[in-house]
Amino acid sequence: MILSGDDIHKALADGRMIIDPAPPKANIDTTSIDLHLGEPLWIWKPEYEPHGVSGITVNPEHFDYREFSEQYLIEVPKDEKGCYHIEPKRIYLGSTYEKVEFPPGSRLAGRVEGKSRIARLGLMVHMTAPMIHCGTGLGIITLEMLNHGPFVIEAKPGETRICQLVLEEVTSDPGADRSGRQFHKQKDAKG
């Protein structure tokens, strides 16, 4: 069951969900919460994009993502206005400005979805990992972004509403401890 705007306000007030900084009422819609772009923003080294042949084979079941990202990601600089330029045909790893937590026992989970105003320009904000699980500790939400459109999109950290969070009620308490998971309490997109 997807939470309504009123239920979202109640979940925040009751501590079933924590968002830091707290969203203004204007960012809570009828069934979602708008979240902003955070910083930094990362790209894979340009020689490997968009269709570069890196000669590197990755087995996602047997590698250390943080170590890998330290070696192959580079930080995207901001312009003189403090904005990022999200270029066409490039993968970006970013984050939300807000930190989100679904405490154990909250029976809440969330999904990150795009915003139609930027999706219509071609920007996808999550590729295949939209889920924020019940029991997730306070941390940023990583965004796996790809600009499919023909335009450079300007986005300012803390200002640009980049995605929306849809909340769902879990039918029973999952009871699982997520504290040992790789991306628990993320501080940045590198994990």
Q: Known catalytic residues?
A: 144
The amino acid that residue 65 corresponds to is Y
SS3 45: coil
The amino acid that residue 74 corresponds to is I
SS3 6: helix
Sheet (strand 91-95) strand order: 73-75, 42-44, 91-95, 142-147, 123-124
In the beta sheet, which residues pair with residue 156? Answer: none
> What is the DSSP pairing of strand 33-36 with strand 73-75?
unpaired
Within 37-176, strands assigned E span 42-44, 73-75, 84-86, 91-95, 99-101, 108-114, 123-124, 131-132, 142-147, 153-155, 161-169
Looking at 30-115, list the stretches that DSSP marks H as alpha helix, in order from N- to C-terminal side. 65-72
